[in-house]
Amino acid sequence: MSEFFKNIPEIKFEGKDSKNPFAFKYYDPEKVIMGKKMKEHLPFAMAWWHNLCATGVDMFGAGSADKSFGAQPGTMEHAKAKVDAGVEFMKKLGIEYYCFHDVDLVPEDPTDINVTNARLDEISDYILEKTKGTNIKCLWGTANMFGNPRFMNGAGSTNSVDVYSFAAAQVKKAIDITIKLGGRGYVFWGGREGYETLLNTDMKFEQENIAQLMRMAVNYGRSKGFMGDFYIEPKPKEPMKHQYDFDAATAIGFLKQYGLDKDFKMNIEANHATLAGHTFQHELRVSAMNGMLGSVDANQGDMLLGWDTDEFPFNVYDATLAMYEVLKGGGLTGGFNFDSKNRRPSNTPEDMFHAFILGMDTFALGLIKAAEMIEDGRIDNFVKEKYSSFSNTELGKKIRNNTATLEELAAHACDIKKPNDPGSGRQEYLESVMNNILFS
């Protein structure tokens, strides 16, 4: 196997004083935090599409990075070269997981799905062969149901039975490959499941069909022994004006409505959260409080740009608040997939490593600081105290255990005539506690 990243060493932890650009400053896989190794808190994954496929093509220009890995793009030789390069890349970084869409792995045959399926069988054999004896396995797989023009009116939401059947066929095959590669989960991201105008859209019909496709996927996966989670990855828009899986709350409501909530959890992407007008932390909190904290697509957007920029995570505040939610939520059943891409001018193999070192160190720092926030206790104690009238008064307890009546509460209000001051929210104090912990 040829070495694609010859000049790049294995990336090791050297600590925060290191100036070595090819070393971790904070990610120390064996370090124990709150009783668990960092690498167990942070099962990092490589996104096949961005890291091994994306060249930096944008709406205004051609790619700037060479991802041919010595082979002709569009061939099976290239598909295999990507596996070789990807495995070398993951080994050098100590990353144990990857995520894929079917068509990231192999070129799709334009006229015959049977040819594509045979290629998927071949490449998954090759991945298994190349990862044998390593800890590298699949975090989650998915079917690309947005790129091909057949999905222009949707996949699960299409108007065409033929296209719906193609979506089903792709999901079936992607589940097979996910199981074969040891995947922890299977993702539905509904890029084309939405609308541009309601004038041509039967929203209820479309949502029922999407739910039906998901139900068939669950039944099929379970029949094949798949024990992992199915995930919905919410996103409010882009490519569609309105996407049905707008945010975690909407997706969870949908899953409950159609009886899919036992088999599905959320895959929360930071950039999608901000596109929906929420913080990353908010989307994680909504998922966790509904028992649906599944997996994370680790990236960040740019507040000055209104689209999905998929940048490598750099913002330590956001990573800390995210890890605060993940720790308090009991961890992920999935992992942290860098659904992130290098900026177009960062076009060398070295930049691919710098990007992952940045992302992994950012989340490691987030983990360290979130654990310190929890162990410090000032924030949690404040929150506990804030709601204490519901635990230290008889009436409060009755409200919480659903035995209070409206008349009883009204009588209490009349009795006291005017409520006591509910107390300060102390936002600025709590923010200063966070800064104190971040920068000490």
Contacts of 165 (CB under 8 A, 6+ apart): none
> Is 235 a residue that touches ligand XLS (CB under 6 A)?
yes
Of the candidates 88, 310, 318, 361, which one interacts with Ca ion according to CB under 5 A? 310
Catalytic residue at 297?
no
Residues 297-336 as x/- pattern, contact with ligand XLS by CB under 6 A: x----------x----------------------------
Shortest Å distance, C-beta 103 to Ca ion: 15
Q: Which of ligand XLS, Ca ion, none does residue 142 bind to, with CB < 5 to 8 Å depending on kind?
A: ligand XLS
Helix residue ranges, H only, 143-235:
161-180, 203-223
**Amino acid identity of 314?**
F
- Least distance CB 99 / ligand XLS (angstroms): 8
Which residue is associated with the tokens 């160190």? 361
Q: Find the shortest distance in angstroms from Cβ 318 to ligand XLS.
A: 17
Closest separation in Å from C-beta 233 to ligand XLS = 5
CA distances from 417 to 300, 386, 414 (A): 50, 22, 5
The partner in contact with residue 186, picked from Ca ion, ligand XLS, none with C-beta cut-offs of 5 to 8 angstroms by kind, is none
* Binding segment toward Ca ion, per CB under 5 A, in 127-135, 159-167, 203-211, 338-346: 338-346
Q: Does 297 bind Ca ion (CB under 5 A)?
A: yes
> DSSP character for 61?
B
Q: Are strands 185-188 and 229-232 parallel, antiparallel or unpaired?
A: parallel
* Structural contact between residues 93 and 11, judged by C-beta atoms closer than 8 angstroms: yes
Q: Which does 362 bind (CB under 5 to 8 A by kind): Ca ion, ligand XLS, none?
A: none
Q: Taking a C-beta distance cutoff of 8 angstroms, is the pair 98, 86 a contact?
A: yes
Q: How many residues bind Ca ion (CB under 5 A)?
A: 6
Is the CB of 142 or the CB of 290 nearer to ligand XLS? 142
Give the number of other CB atoms < 10 A from CB of residue 246: 21
Pick from 245, 223, 221, 242: nearest CA to 232: 245
> Is residue 176 part of the contact set for Ca ion (CB under 5 A)?
no
Q: How far is the CB of 323 from Ca ion (least distance, A)?
A: 19
Cα→Cα distances 393→329, 352, 387, 397, Å: 28, 57, 11, 6
Find the length of the chain. 440
Q: Is 101 an active-site residue?
A: yes
DSSP state of 183: -
Give strand pairing partners of 46.
98, 338
243 binds Ca ion (CB under 5 A): no
Which residue's structure tokens are 């049905």?
Answer: 244
311 near Ca ion, rule: CB under 5 A? no
Q: For residues 91-120, which are near ligand XLS according to CB under 6 A?
A: 101
User: Using an 8 Å Cβ cutoff, are 426 and 384 in contact?
Assistant: no
Task: Tell me, by CB under 6 A, how many residues bind ligand XLS.
Answer: 10
Catalytic residue, from 28, 84, 102, 104: name it. 104
Residue in 101, 272, 278, 282 annotated catalytic: 101
| Residue 29: cis peptide before it, omega within 30 degrees of 0 | no
Nearer to Ca ion, 241 or 412 (CB): 241
Query: Could you say whether residue 339 binds ligand XLS (CB under 6 A)?
Result: yes
Query: Could you tell me which of 107, 130, 104 has the C-alpha nearest to residue 118?
Result: 107
The yes or no reply on residue 247 touching ligand XLS (CB under 6 A) is: no
Which residues make up the interface to ligand XLS (CB under 6 A)? 101, 142, 187, 189, 233, 235, 269, 297, 308, 339
Q: What is the set of active-site residues? A: 101, 104
Which residues make up the interface to Ca ion (CB under 5 A)? 269, 271, 297, 308, 310, 339
